[in-house]
């Protein structure tokens, strides 16, 4: 959406579109629409409007305080100069993404952009930032496609210590039997919502599941991540179950990742295949990937943004704890996926594995694309690929390959972000300030707390 759409003619056009959407929703017995945005701490915040108020909301937006930008994972509010209690913003629903929520009968949902009362883009709006970063890629002649993987753990909704709902083995068919109705209701709900699910499977950790979706334009991929998680939670609630997307759910244990897949097209051709570089990479795909790899410590402040993230980001936990890349290497933070022979042109992409779902997916899109763009600007190249678990390599071999452990705590990642001009420049001063303030406040809040305490405090937050 560009600013022109917020002039009088643009508002009238949005109102007219909303009127026809309201008619359709009334026929589908929709009574309320949830407008969501994701805050700096990765929490999806919402405002609901009744059907009768949707037309006005579409044209003029719904009020929201800018102080949401400074909210922490525990709903505390970090001190900043930009996200203060005065002033007001407007949440404008994306009318192209309005969808009936299949597991919340009577509700529809639309992701929202945040605008100022004066009709300009709010500098702290993560979704608009993601869209602007996609535009920068377009200026370079490139179109990105992206997809977020979702992992979660299903519990019996119980007081006290949460009890895993499925007891079968990792990747076991047993789990699909144990939660058979839940699984099929989830897939039906997502299909009804137009989500193109590619795979749903039991994961490693007790009662953990994973779902992957088809690639989409990057902002749509972030929207889908919000919709999929909302649906997973809503279907679970209808089955008397509760879900956790938190980075870490047990110590010790393998956590919930939020891996991001990205590919790039130039002139309708995937630049991650058919090139003369290693594994078919073109120079553009290599430079883009190298731009991301070089900036991973800083990107962690975006993609692994919680103190809890560092309980997950451990060597040999499939989380990608080392800054290296490799073809189909699940212990490399950056995994090159080439696809099967014959389908490389559609399947080849790069997967960033070190991220989790405490992250705001719009900020992840903005950060990763900005890092890739910086790599393209610099004509960056990749080091030697790594074909083994870096944790198992002798120290001298790791040193020879230049493979370093990623930050092991939030404060180190935040310092790297602050020192990375490609990211602070893309995010702008206001968003940079709030991001740093929210992360540092969280690090202070949890300083000295045990892993078990951090897990208990964050399990149900995202």
**Interface contacts to Mg ion, rule CB under 5 A:** 210
Nearer to ligand GLU, 194 or 392 (CB): 392
Nearer to ligand GLU, 124 or 257 (CB): 257
User: Nearest-CA neighbor of 61 among 93, 86, 30?
Assistant: 93
Annotate 206-236 with DSSP letters as a single string: TTEEEEEE--B-HHHHHHHHHHHHHHHHHHH
| Tokens matching residue 9 | 């003619």
Q: Does 206 bind ligand GLU (CB under 6 A)?
A: no
Q: Which residues pair with 114 in a beta bridge?
A: 91
Residues 360 and 428: their CA atoms lie apart, in Å, by 16
Q: Does 390 bind ligand GLU (CB under 6 A)?
A: no
Residues 183 and 392: their CA atoms lie apart, in Å, by 36
Nearer to ligand GLU, 254 or 426 (CB): 254
Nearer to ligand GLU, 146 or 319 (CB): 319
Q: Could you tell me if 111 and 93 are in contact, meaning their C-beta atoms sit under 8 angstroms apart? A: yes
Least separation in angstroms between CB 324 and ligand GLU: 16
Q: Does 318 bind ligand GLU (CB under 6 A)?
A: yes
* Interface positions, 350-369, toward ligand GLU (CB under 6 A): 353
Least separation in angstroms between CB 73 and ligand GLU: 18
Least separation in angstroms between CB 149 and ligand GLU: 7
Residues 223 and 58: their CA atoms lie apart, in Å, by 18
Coil, strand, or helix at residue 395?
A: helix
Least separation in angstroms between CB 168 and ligand GLU: 17
Q: Which of 123, 124, 215, 257 binds ligand GLU (CB under 6 A)?
A: 257
Least separation in angstroms between CB 151 and ligand GLU: 5
* Interface positions, 334-353, toward ligand GLU (CB under 6 A): 353
Nearer to ligand GLU, 145 or 261 (CB): 261
Q: Which of 21, 64, 129, 254 binds ligand GLU (CB under 6 A)?
A: 254
Which one of Mg ion, ligand GLU, none is in contact with 255 (Cβ closer than 5 to 8 A by kind)?
Answer: ligand GLU
Size of the site for ligand GLU (CB under 6 A): 11
Which one of ligand GLU, Mg ion, none is in contact with 104 (Cβ closer than 5 to 8 A by kind)?
Answer: none
Least separation in angstroms between CB 210 and ligand GLU: 6
Coil, strand, or helix at residue 356?
A: coil
| Tokens matching residue 272 | 């991650």
Single out the segment in contact with ligand GLU by CB under 6 A; choices: 129-137, 234-242, 248-256, 294-302: 248-256
User: Nearest-CA neighbor of 326 among 278, 382, 385, 273?
Assistant: 385
Q: Which long-range contacts (CB under 8 A, 24 or more apart) does 162-165 make?
A: 162/242, 162/244, 162/459, 164/206, 164/207, 165/207, 165/241
Least separation in angstroms between CB 311 and ligand GLU: 10
User: Rounded to 5 degrees, what angle do the CA atoms 303, 362, 419 make?
Assistant: 50
107-142 exposure pattern, b = at least 16 Cβ within 10 A, e = fewer: bbbbbbbbbbeeeebbbbbbbbbbbbbbeebeeeeb
Q: Which of 255, 291, 367, 375 binds ligand GLU (CB under 6 A)?
A: 255
Nearer to Mg ion, 256 or 458 (CB): 256
Which one of ligand GLU, Mg ion, none is in contact with 254 (Cβ closer than 5 to 8 A by kind)?
Answer: ligand GLU
* Interface positions, 130-159, toward ligand GLU (CB under 6 A): 151
Q: Which of 19, 269, 278, 330 binds ligand GLU (CB under 6 A)?
A: 330
| Tokens matching residue 366 | 């903005």
Annotate 269-306 with DSSP letters as a single string: EETTSS-SSGGG--HHHHHHHHHHHHTHHHHHHHHS-S
Where on the chain is the footprint of ligand GLU (CB under 6 A)?
A: 151, 210, 254-257, 312, 318-319, 330, 353
């Amino acid at each position: 959406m560009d600013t022109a759409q917020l002039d009088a003619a643009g508002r009238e056009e949005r109102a007219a579109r909303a009127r026809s959407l309201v008619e359709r929703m009334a026929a589908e017995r929709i009574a309320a629409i949830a407008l969501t945005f994701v805050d700096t701490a990765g929490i999806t915040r919402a405002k609901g409007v009744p059907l009768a108020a949707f037309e006005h909301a579409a044209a003029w937006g719904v009020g929201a305080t800018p102080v949401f930008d400074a909210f922490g994972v525990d709903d505390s509010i970090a001190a900043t100069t930009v996200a203060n209690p005065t002033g007001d913003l407007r949440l404008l629903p994306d009318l192209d993404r309005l969808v009936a929520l299949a597991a919340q009968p009577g509700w529809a949902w639309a992701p929202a952009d945040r605008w100022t009362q004066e009709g300009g883009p709010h500098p702290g709006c993560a979704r608009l930032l993601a869209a602007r970063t996609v535009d920068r890629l377009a200026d370079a002649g490139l179109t990105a496609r992206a997809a977020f993987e979702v992992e979660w753990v299903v519990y019996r909704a119980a007081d006290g210590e949460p009890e895993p709902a499925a007891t079968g083995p990792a990747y076991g068919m047993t789990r699909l039997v144990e939660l058979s109705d839940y699984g099929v209701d989830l897939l039906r709900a997502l299909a009804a919502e137009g989500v193109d699910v590619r795979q749903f499977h039991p994961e490693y950790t007790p009662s953990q599941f994973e779902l992957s979706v088809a690639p989409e334009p990057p902002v749509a991929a972030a929207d889908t991540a919000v919709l999929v998680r909302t649906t997973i939670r809503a279907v679970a609630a209808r089955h008397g179950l509760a879900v956790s997307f938190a980075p870490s759910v047990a110590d010790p244990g393998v956590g919930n990742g939020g891996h991001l897949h990205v590919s790039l097209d130039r002139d309708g051709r995937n630049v991650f295949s058919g090139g003369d570089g290693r594994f078919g990479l073109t120079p553009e795909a290599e430079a883009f990937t190298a731009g991301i790899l070089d900036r991973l410590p800083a990107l962690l402040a975006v993609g692994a943004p919680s103190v809890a993230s560092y309980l997950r980001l451990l060597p040999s936990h499939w989380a990608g704890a080392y800054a290296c890349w490799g073809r189909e290497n699940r212990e490399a933070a950056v995994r090159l996926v080439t696809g099967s022979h014959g389908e490389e042109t559609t399947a080849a992409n790069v997967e960033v594995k070190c991220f989790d779902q405490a992250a705001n997916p719009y900020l992840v899109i903005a950060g990763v694309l900005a890092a890739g763009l910086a790599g393209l600007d610099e004509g960056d190249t990749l080091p030697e690929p790594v074909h083994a678990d870096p944790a198992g390599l002798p120290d001298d071999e790791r040193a020879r390959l230049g493979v370093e452990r990623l930050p092991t705590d939030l404060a180190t990642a935040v310092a790297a972000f602050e020192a990375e001009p490609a990211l602070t420049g893309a995010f702008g001063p206001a968003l940079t300030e709030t991001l740093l303030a929210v992360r540092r406040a969280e690090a202070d809040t949890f300083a000295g707390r045990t892993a078990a305490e951090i897990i208990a405090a964050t399990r149900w937050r995202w």
